[in-house]
Structures are given as structure tokens and as C-alpha cells.
Structure 1
Amino acid sequence: MRISIIGCGYLGAVHAACMARLGHDVVGIDVDAAKVAQLSDGQAPFYEPDLDDLLTELENTGRLRFTTDMAAARGSEVHFICVGTPQKRGENGADLRYVDAAVEALAAYVSPGDVVAGKSTVPVGTAARLAEVITAAEPHATLVWNPEFLREGHAVADTLGPDRFVYGVPDGSEEHPAVAVLDRVYETPLATGTPRLVLDYATAELVKAAANSFLATKISFINAMAEVCEATGADVSRLADALGLDDRIGRKFLNAGIGFGGGCLPKDIRAFMARAGELGADQALSFLREVDAINMRRRIRVVELTRELCGGTLMGQRIAVLGAAFKPESDDVRDSPALSAAAQLQLQGAIVTVTDPQALANAAKRFPELPLEPDLEATLHKADAVLLLTEWKQYRDMDPHTVKALVSAPRILDGRNVLDPAKWRAAGWTYKGLGRP
């Protein structure tokens, strides 16, 4: 099939490459000429495992190209809207300017029978409004809402083999012609048994908002339990193991630590609360305020525990922060708990050095005042305390004896509870986890 992808950021670039990998003829369209040039050269403008290899694999197939010209969308059967929906400045709501602009610009090039598929995360009610823009330009084209469920660090695999497909169509009917069109797009993963749900617009939009809110709630729940464990001497990691054996609960997303960040969960739960308020249903989602508050408290807790580790003061203490990205296998530093904690430590007088295998360039843009060091050993050199704040494999696998020879004082805060406390203590370290005795 001929497919256009509007917006070639994280979501769009991955989706474009994966659609071409499935055999479709794909054009990616973005207003950023530098991004288009980089993608055209077979390089992703961000770090995502396997994506560069996929782009290289596709270079000589002729099935994938990138351009800044929206007219290139003409002739495609399906057009995917993949632009960002960031949080509004000074508000909780989602900024829909980019989605609106993309749909309005695309509408001039839509032909009869075309399907416009929205993948961006939007507040409920957006699809119905945008459908009017498309049908006003071309009455015989259809807007569907086809939300994405990607995990950063696993985006290629999640696109080629997702755990479900959701189609939001105007009447919510399996018989709608757009359903058959999307089934052709996703023919390969559907053939392997991937579940597919056909829903109305509003339900399809709510799936993404509700899923992210549930995951955020689960993370904040176990972090709230970590606060209780610290007050009682219990071990939150063992508590999570016991809870996870209940198949109604499950172990995933029950890892206590410094909280969630990134470009999705924080802004999506806030946008969900804002939209509920506009609809008069704000009381239904009032619990998400506490979910957000618990998450933000974790960053303050990192500062408090680091001060305790350093004998009651941060002034002049050399702190090695391991991790800048909000999660491993990503260079995304949006709303990164690690960088937020590092900046607070610096403001309170600590001499902070941050390292990360992929995210330092982005960290420098967000926190230009933070000292950044690509070399792990140089970061650890003569540190008074080590903070593991992003659980990259090379940090999880550190040898405590080797690291001890580099630092001034063997004190470590395991902000992700991924190290073996007994192993580090046996090597002579003062070890502190979150919610662990």
C-alpha cells in the first residue's frame, strides 16, 4: 500500500520505518528539514535500539523516503498523523496546535476513499472535531483513530508486533470500510494473532489515556508503599514480589524508585485530568493528582537520602549521578527524574557530575548548567556518593570492588532498586535503596 506519515519525530520515524519493513511504500513528511535530511541519510535523530539498523536495511529498497513537502502525501491510500501533543505551557492540558496544523495541511491532498489515521495521543473528543476538517475537504475520505502503544527502547518491536490494535471509526462498526483498509496495513501482525478492537472515536481515544493513567497509578502505588516501608522497616522489593504473585495484580510496573518521567506518562495524566475537568468529570480523576504528587515526591526523596548518605550536608560533596535519560535504552530526557534530582542537588551546594551512555547531548540542552561527563570512570573519580538513577545495564552490572577503588567514599544510593544490597555491603559500601531497610 502507499502510505504517508505526517510528523517524523519519535513516533512517526519509527512508524514510517516499520510500515516500510512490512512491505508498504512509505513517505514521511515533516516540517523540520534537518530531521528529514538525517532520516534520508538512514540515521534516526534520536536513540532507539534497532531503528538505525532498520533504516539502513531499508535504504536500498526504495520503499521509504522523507520530505518536507506535504504534497507528497497525494496518492497515498492511508495517511498517519504522528505529530506531538506536548503539555501546554503553564497548563495541564495538551497542546493540539501541531495535530490541528497537520490535519489542516494534509486535508488539501486527501482523495476519495483515503483513510486518515490519527496515532497521536489526544484528549477525548479530538477525533470527532478533526473528522469534520477531513470530510469538509473530501466527503469520501474517513478519519479513524488508531492510538499507539509504544515503549521507548522497544518501539520497533512494539510496532512490528504490538499487543493489540485499536481502530476508532465513526460508527464503531466492524463493517465500516476503513476497518478493511487498516487490516490491509497491518496484515502481517494480524496474521500472527494480534488482537484487534473496533471502537467508536471516544472509546479509542480513552484507551491510550486510561492505559497510561493506570500504569502511572501502579508505579505511584508501589512508590507510596516504599514510603510506608521506610517508616516501618519493611522491604518494598520483597513486598512487590509478594504482590506480583497475585495474577490480578502482576509484577510489572511494581518497581519502586525515583518515579516515572518521559514525554508520555506525566503529560498524559495531566492532560487527562484537564480534559475531565472540561467535561465536568474532574472528580472521577481526582486520584490522578495524588498519583502525580507521589511521583514528584520521589525526586525530593532522592535529595533527602543523598544528604543522609553524606552525613547531613550536601555542601561541597562530590556526587556522581549515573543516568540522565528518564529510562534506559533511550536518549529522552523529557521530565527526567534523574536530571531533576541532579539539578536540585546542585542547587543545594553539591558538586554534581552526570553521566549517561546516550542522553548527554539532550541533557545539555535541558540543563546547560549541569556538568556532564561521558566517561563513567571519570564521573566516579573521587565521588563522595554515587547515585544510580537510570538503570542502564552497565550500571546494574558494575563491580562494587572496582568502583570502590575509584571513589573517595563508598556510599551508593540505588534509586531504581536494581543492585544487590548484600553484594555491595559485603564489598564495604554504605548502600541505600528506596523503601528498603
Structure 2
Amino acid sequence: MNPSLQKLDVHPLRGELYHELHSRPFQVLSCPARVTHIALLTSPEQRRTQFRHLQKLHRLLGFEPPVREVSCYEKDFGTLRIRREMHMEFASYTFINRRDAEADPFEATGISHLPEGWLEDLAGQVVAAFHLDLKQVEHGPDEDLQQVRPWFEGLRLVGSSPQEGAARVWGSFRLHSDGFGRFMVFNRQMSDSQLGRLTQRLVEIETYRLMSLLALPLAREISPQLADMDQQLADITQALADNHDIDEPRILARLTDIAARIEAFRAHSTFRFSATRAYHQLVLTRLEELREDELSGHLTITEFMTRRLTPAVKTCESVGDRLEDLSRRVDRASDMMRTRVELAIQSQNQELLSSMDRRSKIQLMMQHTVEGLSVVAISYYLIALLKIGLDSAYDSGLHFDKSLALGLAIPVVLLAVWLSIRRIHRRFIRMARKEK
């Protein structure tokens, strides 16, 4: 008997990790077929609304609706197949129509047989929406082009021969009169599985291309304001370098305003720019997987994307890098201003301490003067009291020289008073040192 895992501690996510690689399988498509793909930006609430709307579609078509939402759901309704995929910020729907094989391209599409009004009620913002017409052909490339031109309304075509000539792909990467994009795929010698993978790659290239470009309007909006803030920051830095007298509170207020605007831009754009880089990388990966051969006189999909998409993505990356650079420069300018203010405060504190030191010395000198006067005053009153005592003793019958006794008592009293004051003074000094 083979050993079992039942007694081992199995990670709770182990099953999900295995399932993840199989959560979005490639479709198997046979020619001919009409495919429509729609991608919509969604919020969590819109996703829940979409799932209820998907359940409604099942009921309208007479099928049992799904009870649980999954990342990739696929259902075959006979001649209509629907695939719904959930992504980080968008949901995508792929509709495959296998009924109208003999109809003209793009007159019958993947959504032709959806219940009336169902698609119009789909929640979310449409980003990508395009049709694909899949045909089985045995003709050469020239005949392919003659067939293709009328169906793209005279727009300039981008074409290639992917999978080492096993198919021909044509597209315009533009919106047509019906509001959808269009692709035509002429299958020469691809199996149903290979055709499904090719179609999936085309769908992902177009969807991720559009998703990556969502950041471009934002980059164009931010760029002029970054130039203005850049100039303001340069003026502030130059003023600091020239070491002119400047209004520190006003400069700090300007720096704080610039920093706040930059952080607002970063909060608004960081996710979008990061998503653009991720989507662009996915596009490049899918383009490599196409393994295209050039069709004479036409740009391949890879050449078109490299020439048009990459500069747009680089623009977004440049604006994102510029935001980060401005943020770092504002931090350095703020540090310089704080250092300048701290040095000014330290200079003021030094002057204040010097002034306090001078006042303390004056107070000490005054204190010594007052102590000397206090010794004299206290001694004067003590000698006066002593004189009264000597007079009383002399009047009571004691005979002595009052003047001599009083004269001898004066230095003794002065010394005693001075020693007492010094003792009190030393006591206070010891108390102060203990407090330190």
C-alpha cells in the first residue's frame, strides 16, 4: 500500500494553488465562428450586479443559472457559448456564435443572438469591445487581402502571419461604425486547440493594450502641472543656494503646498501607472507568443504595438518617474529649509543664553553688593540691640566701660553676621547642585 497524506499537515491553500494554473483554460474553437469580446471596468458592487445579470441570462435562455461566482466561468448554450473572466479591475465577456457561419463578416457577430436588451443592461464601463471573424481558408495571401479590405471600412490594416504561417490575422486597431473593433482570422492549418489559443492571445493583446493606455490621459493632464511645480522648486532651490535673505515661513509654506500637490498626484496615479507597466508587459509577452511572420507591405501586430503603444507607455513611466523625482527634491529642499531654520534658532538661542549669562553676572554682582549691605545693616541693628543691653546692665549697678565693650563687640558682630550669611549662601548652592 502506498503511503497517504492524510496524517500530514497539508497547507489549506494547496488545492487552490493547484487550481490556479487551470482557472483560465484556453478555449477550443472550430472554424467558422463569430467572436465578440467585451471588457468592462467594474467596482465590487458592479461585479455583484453583473453576476446577477449573468444568472438572468441563463434563465432567459432556459438554463439553470450558476449559484457561485468564479474567476472564470464558461457555458455552452448550443450555438452560443459565453465565457466570463474576472480580473483585478475589470471583467471580460467572450461571446461565440457558431450559428451564422455563412453570413457576411461582422454582419452576424458573437452577440447577435443574445436576448434583446440584456447586453445594454450590463453594469460597468466598457473599455474594450471588438469582433473577431474566424474563417477556414485555403487561399493565398493576396486573395486574403482582397477578401479583407471591404470589411474594415477602408481603414488602414495591420496584418501578420502568426504561428509560422499557420494563419493570417488582419485588424485595424480602430473603432468602426458600429462602435466595435474588428479582427479577421484566416485559419490555414491550425487545430481547434491552436486556433483557440491564437484567438485568446489576440483578445488579450487588444484588451491589455487598451487597459495599459488608460494612464495616458492622466499623464498628459499631470505633466504641465509638474512642469510648473518643477520651476517653482528650482526658484526656491536657487534662492537657497544664493543665500539671500528669504522669508522662511513663506518658503516653507510654498514647499508644503508643492509637497501636498505631489502626494495628491501620486495617490491618484500610482496604481494607474503601475497597472500600465503590468499590462504592457503582458502585451509584450503575448506578442512574443504569436511568433509572427511579416506580410508584404503591412506592419505586423508586434511592429505596430512597438511603434505606437511603447511610446505611450514610456510617457506614463516618465511622468511617474518625474513625480518620484520631484517628491525627493521637495524633501531635500525641505530638509535644507529646516536646517536653515534650526541654525537660525540655534543662533537666537545662543544670543539669548549670552544675554542671560550677562544678566546673571550682573545679578550676582548685585547680590554680592546686597550681601555686603545686609551684613552692615544686620550688624548695625544687632549692635544697637547690644547697646541697649549694655545700658540696662550698667544702670542696674554693673560698672564697666560701655564704650570699650561696645567697640570690642562691633567687629565680633560683623564677623558673626558675615559668617552666618556665607553659611546660608553655601547651603543654597549645595541645594541647587543637588537639583541638577
Whose Rg is larger? 2
Same fold (TM > 0.5): no
Q: TM-score, normalised by structure 2?
A: 0.28
Name the one with the larger helix percent.
Answer: 2
